[in-house]
Amino acid sequence: MAWVSWIFVIETMNPVEAGPTAFAFFYMSLLLALVGTLSLAGLIYRIGVRKRYAVLAREVRISFRHAILLSLGGTVALWLSAHRSLSWYWLLLVVALIAGTEYIFLLIQAARRQ
């Protein structure tokens, strides 16, 4: 459904006439579509390929977290590119923020196990 809404936004909204609203709908629908797709792909990989069946709720949570982080990174990079601001140091900052966020989640997860 999110991909359908993203295509609907692309086909029906004129960014010149709609202004910031069209861009907000574009980026939000793209973000939601990417989160859904990457979450599903990550879950299929974790359960199907890596054969992790023990605690499915944990695998779903991890897959969803990774999907959100990757989707945010991709959407931010696309937004920076649209504003002609994407350069190697901005991309490095986005990757560092994503990696730092994942590291914090891993630290919290390790603290809960103790």
Render each residue's pLDDT in the chain as its tens digit; 114 residues: 999 999 999 999 887 788 888 899 999 999 999 999 999 999 999 888 888 777 888 889 999 999 999 999 999 999 999 989 889 999 999 999 999 999 999 999 899 887
Dist CA 102 CA 59 (whole Å): 15
Name the residue with tokens 């991309």: 91
> What pLDDT does 42 receive?
92
Write down the pTM of the prediction: 0.86
> What pLDDT does 51 receive?
80
Residues 106, 108, 113, 114, Cα dihedral to 10° = 120
> What pLDDT does 15 receive?
78
> What pLDDT does 4 receive?
95
Dist CA 1 CA 106 (whole Å): 31
